[in-house]
Structure 1
Amino acid sequence: MKIKALLIFLVCLPLIGCDRYTKQQAVFLLKGQEPVSFLNGFFTLTYHENTGAMLSLGAYLPENVRFIIFTLLVGLVLVGGLIYLLVKPMNKYNFTLGLLILSGGFGNLYDRAFNNGRVVDFMLLQAGSLKTGVFNVADIAIMVGLFGFIFISSKWGKQLTNQSN
């Protein structure tokens, strides 16, 4: 349990703090401003508030339905996920990847709870006609956790985790 507490301290707190700080800076520096592009338009800082889930899924639902789904239900799932991580025996890789996902989820949940149901997004990647949706640090943590789970479930990931155990 000590290693889990240490990992929570080393993963969750810095990630949630970084997410909060970058969102505050985005509000202060980007809100109401024109987007700022870098690397020939590959990386852009632009201010958006998302009332839906990823890629604004559900953004047009009635406000009370969005609150129930994106604040209450997501909050319950995140708390349940944290309890699961704390109770279930698992290796440090799975635990850390789970923490990445939960940290991102709690970061966005905080935003929804204290920003009238909206999440601040401010980064965009674009290569030619391909581009991402606008995202934030919490979204990066979630995606790294998900891709990490996919990797450690592969034969290469299983070899890596077996060698280090």
Structure 2
Amino acid sequence: MNRNLFITLLIIFNIAIDQISKIIVRSTMVKGGKGQMNVLKDYFQLIWVENKGAFLGMGSDMNPTLRLIFLLILPTIVLGYVIYYIVKTKELDRLSLIAFCCIVGGGISNVFDRIVFGQVTDFFFIDLGGVFRTGIFNVADLSVTTGMILLLFSGIFNNKKSKDVSKEV
């Protein structure tokens, strides 16, 4: 498959899966804690909230101008640069390319929500007890997080591989 087509399709897939999930949540759930659904007892729940901030609501109390700069303009510039980087950098390994596409797709989808709705729809909540309890998040957040983890693995794998190659020489 053509590399740029692969990049485009993967980014569009991440945007689509997030936006479809948000449409389903907005059309079938009740906003706030009243409409929460237990998927797996109290461990995994669906709770529809609208987030005016960023990750875990950070920045939701910023004045509108700062929120526009830090949650819309700056992320759009960064996403544009990452797209440019992955299209132009032909040396990226497949795992890094997939990771960047997940990050960009999730980022674009949340920026789209901020432009169209003024806030981001979140609905997943995990509480495994003890210290493992998430905030409420969405599929785009999951895409970005997955992309970051894949980048970490790619960096570790590529670093180990390059050390092995240098030992052979």
| Same fold? TM cut 0.5 | yes
The alignment's C-alpha RMSD in Å is: 2.0
Runs of 4+ that moved beyond 4 A: 155-159
Aligned residue for 1:61?
Answer: 62
Distance 1:65 1:113 in 2: 15
Please give the residue correspondences for 1:145-160 in structure 2 after superposition, counting only pairs within 5 Å.
Answer: 145-155=147-157, 158-159=160-161
Cα gap change, 1:127 to 1:99, in 2 (>3 Å):
same
Deviates more, 1:89-98 or 1:136-145: 89-98
Listed as ranges, the gaps of 5+ residues in structure 2 are 165-169
Please give the residue correspondences for 1:47-126 in structure 2 after superposition, counting only pairs within 5 Å.
Answer: 47-89=48-90, 90-116=92-118, 118-126=119-127
Alpha-carbon contact 2:102-2:147 (below 8 Å) kept: yes
TM-fit CA distance, 1:52: 1.1
TM-fit CA distance, 1:39: 1.7
Structure 1 counterpart of 2:44, one-letter code? F
TM score, norm. by length of structure 1: 0.88
Aligned residue for 1:24?
Answer: 23
Structure 2 counterpart of 1:19, one-letter code? D
State, as a whole percentage, how many aligned pairs show the same letter.
Answer: 25
Q: Which has the larger radius of gyration?
A: 2
1:142 matches 2:144: yes
Would you say how many aligned residue pairs link Structure 1 and Structure 2?
158
Distance 2:17 2:159 in 1: 28
Cα gap change, 1:107 to 1:157, in 2 (>3 Å):
farther
Alpha-carbon contact 1:151-1:157 (below 8 Å) kept: no
Listed as ranges, the gaps of 5+ residues in structure 1 are none
Report the 3-state secondary structure (helix = DSSP H, G, I; strand = E; otherwise coil) of the residue aligned with 2:42: coil
Structure 1 counterpart of 2:77, one-letter code? L
Q: Can you list the C-alpha shifts for 1:74-127, whole angstroms capped at 9, x where unaligned? A: 1111111101111112122211110010000001010001012x1000000111
TM-fit CA distance, 1:158: 4.6
Distance 2:57 2:74 in 1: 17
Report the 3-state secondary structure (helix = DSSP H, G, I; strand = E; otherwise coil) of the residue aligned with 2:25: helix
Distance 1:58 1:2 in 2: 39
Distance 2:157 2:88 in 1: 27
Deviates more, 1:24-33 or 1:65-74: 24-33
Distance 1:48 1:157 in 2: 40
Aligned residue for 2:42?
Answer: 41
Alpha-carbon contact 1:36-1:45 (below 8 Å) kept: yes
TM score, norm. by length of structure 2: 0.86
